Structure formats: C-alpha cells, structure tokens
A and B are shown apart, each in its own frame.
Chain A
Amino acid sequence: MEKIVVLLHTEPDGTLSRPALEALTVVRSLAADLGSEFAAALVGESVQEAAGLVAGAGASSIYAVEGSDFHHARYTSDAVALDALCRRAAADLVVAPGTSRWNRVLPGIACRFGGRIDTHVCDINVEGGAPVVTRWYYRQRMKARIGRTQRPWFIVCDPGSFSAFEGEVKEVPIEPIATPLAETGFKTEVVGFQKPAEGGQTIRPDAELLFVAGAGWTKMQPDGNARVGDAERLILSFLKSTRASLGGSKSMVDLSSEGQETLAFMTHLNQIGQTGATPRHPKGLSTCCHGEEPHVVGWRFITERRAVNLDPNCGWAQGKADVLYVGDAFEIISKVNELLAEG
C-alpha cells in the first residue's frame, strides 16, 4: 500500500489558500482510489487553524513545522522544514499545491530524497492500482498521461484545476517536527513585496473574466494616429467595472522592452501564452489580438471565449473562440463601458 502525504503551507494569516484546498481534494480522492490513508504535513508561522481543516478532510496524522522562521517563502528555511517533514512522513506519494512557494522548493526536496517530481498536474487517476497524472507539454500544446515507478513521487497540482475542499473543522493532535534551523542559519532574508502602483493591480487570478489586450490597441487607427492614451482609459475603465484580470499578447508586452509606446500598466507579468501564463478563468474576452496556434495557448484553460477583432479570419479567434465580433475594439469597448456604468 502506498503511503501518501499532502504537503501544505499556510498563508500569513494561518489559513490555507485555494490551491492548498484543491490539493486536499486531490489527496482525498487519490487515497480513496488507492485504498490508503493520507497524512498531512504543514509549514507556516501558525498552523493550528489549517490543521483543523486538514483533520476535517480526513488526514490520519498531521505533522507540522511552525514558527516565525516559516512566515515567508524562502528556499533555505522551507527546504529545512520539508526535509524534516518528508523524513517523518516517509511517504511514497507526495501531493502538493503548485504555489510559487512550493514550486520554488519542492523540486530540490524531491532531488534530496532521490524522488521524482511532476508539476502542473491538472488531473490524476488511478489505473491498475497506480496513479496516472495528466500534465501539458510544450507550453500547453500537447497533453500527456504519465505514470512512474520511482518513489517518492512528488505530484504538484496546478492551481485552478481541481475543486477546493470544503468541510468541517475537527480537533486533532498535531505532531510538531523539530528542525535544525539554528545550525543552518539564513543567508537570504525576505525584505518585502513589490505590488503594482495604486490602480495598477491588473492581475486577478480569481477573476471571472480574463481580458486580453493585443498589440492592435497601440497601432495606427483609421484617423492616421495611434490612440494609446484612449486605449489605456478604455481598458482601465473596463477592468474597474468588471474586476477582470488583464492579459497581454506577447507582441503587446514586448513593445515596452523594445522602447515603443504601449499601455503603461502592461508588463511581462500580464503576458499570456508562449512565454507567459496560461491562466484559468471561466470567461475570456480578447481584443485586438492576432496570431496562430502557438500564440493562443494562453486561451487554453479559458472556458468561454469571445473575441473582438477587425479580421474575421484571425487565427487567434477562428476555431478557438466561441464568438468573434468583427468590429472596432475602441468603439465596442467604449459602448460596453457605457453600459456597465449604467449598471
């Protein structure tokens, strides 16, 4: 029987993030399908609240590394914590959420334990008594189902791919795990966070809608002038009304690094597809985007897709969007904003 553990870190307020709750869903399902129990291992400044929920999810044992040294995401301290927890759990299968914190450190831990790791896992099943995970290759251009014989096998779940666990909180004893932090010391200190300027927060992973702006917004318009200022106002107004998340095509975000005039709030962090993100949102609206299959992988995990484009044959939309509106995005988004303002 495979021994299973789910590795979770708490948030600064002691709660579990949505990706962590999704990993709980995965581990419960995996354990049930394999006829096994699962343990949980928690890391954070405070883990009590999270432990109650994890117990409610059915963890047979809960191990924890807790304290102020584990408040921030830092490779060295997280590695110390996970090393100790993985030794205690001695699991064959390790399930974890694909947060930036765990993505940074889990591969190194897998390496330490002679294990293997698969990240961005978007589905997991049991076939023939063994797990088979699904993940994408070549920037979401092909999907593979894979299995492994090596153990431990670290399975890191892609956020947004699974439902979040909801359940009762239970009282459960936590086994604290000691770590040799004093001996280790830290060469790295986390000194803070940089956030976009006020009003510039345009990336909202939990938004219902992804609004994708293409380079067309910055190009010369029928009157012979580029209207970058108008584009900024229209897009920001739209984002404010809809609370949508903003994505940009590669050509759009590259404009800034090439010194060309572009939307002031558009950075490489907004880029979707190719070397950008492939976010998961229920709806997506692309505007002024052009391109073929390689450019549209940013669409891959958007459920309902609509596009506004001047070209009815645009490869970005044909066969990829559900609806393509052929028209001027400036005019259409302006009207949309008026309607949204009217409520």
Chain B
Amino acid sequence: MNGGYQIVVCGSIVPDPLQTLEPVAGPTGPALRNEMMLPAVLDPWAAHALYEAANLAKQHSGSKVWWVALGPKAKLQQLMMSMAQKVPFELVALDGTASGFSDSWEVAEALAGAIESIPELDRDRLLLFGGWESASRGTGVTMQMVGERLGITDQFQGVDELTIESDGSLRLLERVEGGHHQVSVCGSPPVVVGWATGRLPEPPNNPQVGMLNMRTVMPALQRAKLVQLSTEGLTFHSVDLPEQRRETRIVRDSSADEIALELVDWIKSD
C-alpha cells in the first residue's frame, strides 16, 4: 500500500499466568487479591497481535504501529520496561482498570475514543489489531465493539495469518470449528483483526528499539487520560474458585502391561 499501513493494536496487562489468583470483593465489585501487587504481563493474544503488527509494518515502508493500552498507569509503566524492547510502536495510554471484571462495553468505548483521538490516523490505511480474547475477561467481544464504534465492518477473529496480496488485498486465515481455517480475502483496509496465536515467535529484546520507544512511552504515560469504568447495570452475584481438588489415585508399581490394560478398559468403557 502506498504510504504503508496505520496499525493500531489494542492490548493490556493480565496477571502473570504463573500467579495464583483469588477473587475478593472490592468496593466497586469483584477484584483479585493483591491485584496491584501481582506481576503482570501483556495479554498473550494481544502480544501476538503486537508482534504481527510490527512484522507487517517492517515489510511495508511508511507503516506505523500504535499500541493503545488501558490499564493502571504504574502497571503499564512496568510492562513497558520489557515490551518497549521488543518492537517499535507509539504508545497511547489510558489510565484505568485492566480488571477482567470490567465490562467490555465500557472498555470498547474507552478504546474507540482513544483511537479516534490519534491525530494523524487515516482510516483508509487502518488495520485495527488486538487479541481475539483476553486472558482476563475472556469474552472475545471487545475488538468487535471497538470496530463497530469506528464504523469498521470487515472484521476477522481468531486470525492466525494475514498476508498482503500483490493487488493490495488482505488474505486472512481465521480459526473455525474442528481445527480448520476459513480463508477470506478483503479488498482493502480498514479491517479489524482479532489475532489468535499467529505464526511469529516472541521477538528478542533489542535495546536500541527500547531506547527509541522510551522517548515516547514516558510522555504517553504522563498524559494518559483517566478512565473510570462503572460496570453500571452489571451485578456479580458470586465469584468463586472452582472446586477442583480430586482424590488422585497414584499407580506407582504396576508394569506397563498392567497399566495399558487398565487404560484400554477405561477408554472402551461407557
């Protein structure tokens, strides 16, 4: 595309998956115990979206990547210490909760507003990226709502591959049932792309990229707009950890033949 793409990636923090999570009742609804203290990472699917965006931008000169993130400013700043070294981007930060218990409607409204406020955004070149679900709320609805609010009706979810054809059209592979991919061709931007895992590994840290990014990251964090999410109309009647402890029977001293026989009986049983 002449002039390259303008790629906006939406994504924020989630608790490090290795952490033990426990729900507690907060003043405005459910929360996680010690939420602000929990180590956080970039939401895995959003991370894939960011890596794919950077890779696409690298291949098409004139392209630029914005990363729109809604989360507590302090936590975003911590996240940037590692993520800023991965790929080039310009941060658009929103200071608010990144809780999974927030409502996707309000999150989408905030994200769409932030995207609309990007001054030089050209919608005819816009690729709106994000994860197809988050690892917190996990609804898989926010990107579609952001797209609707921006008037983008060519949307793709569960995308594992996006290639630009010689005529400038976009070829996308979306996950559908049964481990298959639906293949679509879209004539031109703007599009919404909710990424699954994509095809790219996590980029190695690059201190030079980090230094370039940090010139804009800190000012972006300083001017981050405060976003209050109310979850009005949404009532959590309960939030519980599942009863998951099972009495595991440990079979230590059986031969492979004995174990195989027991397994086959089990597999064949109704």
* A binding-site residues for B, Cβ under 8 Å: 72-76, 79, 99-101, 103-108, 110-112, 116-120, 127, 132, 136-150, 187-196, 201-205, 209, 242, 257-259, 268-271, 274-275, 283, 285, 292-295, 300, 304-306, 308, 312, 317-328, 331-336, 338-340
Contacts and interface: CB of A to CB of B under 8 A. Distances in A.
B256 A322 contact: no
Nearest to B14: A138
A201 B182 CA distance: 15
The 6 A-B pairs at the shortest CB distance, nearest first, are namely: A203-B179, A335-B260, A107-B141, A107-B144, A268-B197, A75-B155
B139 A118 contact: yes
Interface string B127-169: 0000000011111111011011100011111101000000000
B215 interface: no
Mostly, the B contact residues are mixed
Contacts of B182: 72-73, 100, 190, 192-193
Nearest to B45: A275
B187 A188 contact: yes
Interface centre among A73, A187, A306 (most CB of B within 10 A): A187
Contacts of A187: 154, 186-188
Contacts of A138: 14-15, 21, 32, 100, 135-136, 138
B148 A142 contact: no
B181 A194 contact: yes
B248 A321 contact: yes
B117 to A, nearest CB: 19
B6 interface: no
A108 B155 contact: yes
A75 B256 contact: no
B184 A74 contact: yes
A193 B32 CA distance: 41
Contacts of B263: 285, 306, 325, 332, 336
A147 B29 CA distance: 13
Contacts of A150: 233
Interface of B: 14-15, 17-21, 23, 30, 32, 44-45, 100-101, 103-105, 108, 135-142, 144-145, 147-149, 153-158, 160, 173-188, 196-197, 199-201, 233-242, 244-252, 254, 256-257, 259-264, 266-267
B23 to A, nearest CB: 5
Contacts of B181: 193-194
B52 to A, nearest CB: 13
Interface centre among B17, B101, B234, B254 (most CB of A within 10 A): B17
A147 B237 contact: yes
A117 B173 contact: no
5 contacts: A137-B137, A146-B237, A149-B235, A270-B179, A308-B259
